[in-house]
Amino acid sequence: MIHLGLLGYPLSHSLSPKLHGAAFAALAIHGEYLLYPVAPGAIGGLAELARHMRDGEIDGLNVTIPHKQAIIPLLDELTPSAKAIGAVNTLYLNNGKLIGHNTDAPGFLADQARFLRNSVIEKKALVLGAGGAARAVVYALLKDGWKVTLAVRRADLNQARALIEAFEPQIGSSSMDLVMMEAGDLERLGSRTQFIVNATPIGMFPETDISPWPNGLPFPKEAAVYDLVYNPRQTRLVEAAQAAGLRATTGLGMLVEQAALSFACWTGRDVPREVLFAVVEA
């Protein structure tokens, strides 16, 4: 039996157990996928799970907010992509070593391509947030040739600057800008923004009545909107963008893609995407 799970906090909203349960069933694998809620700052809880993995009691873990960076000091190695991003979402054992990997970036790119369908003329993106999820999104966009503007709250300025400093040696400073997540700054970007990505947890269950986009600020007229938050199914950001006549979607497709990539990492088996999409569409 293979023992998998999800590390994060909070986890009551997660669809991951259903996704991986469907993957087990589709591939006739005997396994379980459990939730491991560990509150922010609870280093002892992170260390305990790392120990359980090294002891072979857990075969693999997904990692979500707020531990995608906090878990790194407890790992033995990072894969090249995880090291470049500076955040992990997948843990596995290799020859007794605890390895941190990141399937968020390729998962995001796969779903983004499905969503945009090569409809963007100028690759200029606005990414809201600077945490672990934002690092994966920014890494993916920069690798795909996008120019990225990062928008953050004032409390997250140092985190945003650290993100930019981490990526500058790889892509150069000309590919990234930084603005405040405030109406004045966002309005000054004007129509240059073709793609808006919310990589913050703002609007996630249970606080579903809020949006990261400033109230009353019009969206860029030609932009597409992608909200990594997938619970609720229609976030306030997506609803507002669609009401403005824009194409908008949540991160359910990214959830499917990164889950499939993590599952393949743990089992060596490729689960059919239609199996996982059937779960989230239900």
Q: Which residues pair with 198 in a beta bridge?
A: 128, 227
Which residues neighbour 261 within 8 Å (Cβ) at sequence distance 6 or greater? 90, 103, 106, 107
Q: How many CA atoms lie within 13 A of 25 on its CB side?
A: 9
Q: How far apart are CA 26 and CA 6, in angstroms?
A: 20
Nearest Cα to 224, choosing from 117, 105, 103?
Answer: 117
Q: How far apart are CA 276 and CA 19, in angstroms?
A: 6
Backbone angles phi, psi at 58, to 5 degrees: -125, 130
Given the residues 18, 68, 83, 147, the one annotated as active site: 68
Task: Match 């995407």 to its residue by tokens.
Answer: 273
| 68 carries an active-site annotation | yes
- Specify the length of the chain in residues: 282
Q: How far apart are CA 280 and CA 200, in angstroms?
A: 21
Residues with catalytic function:
68
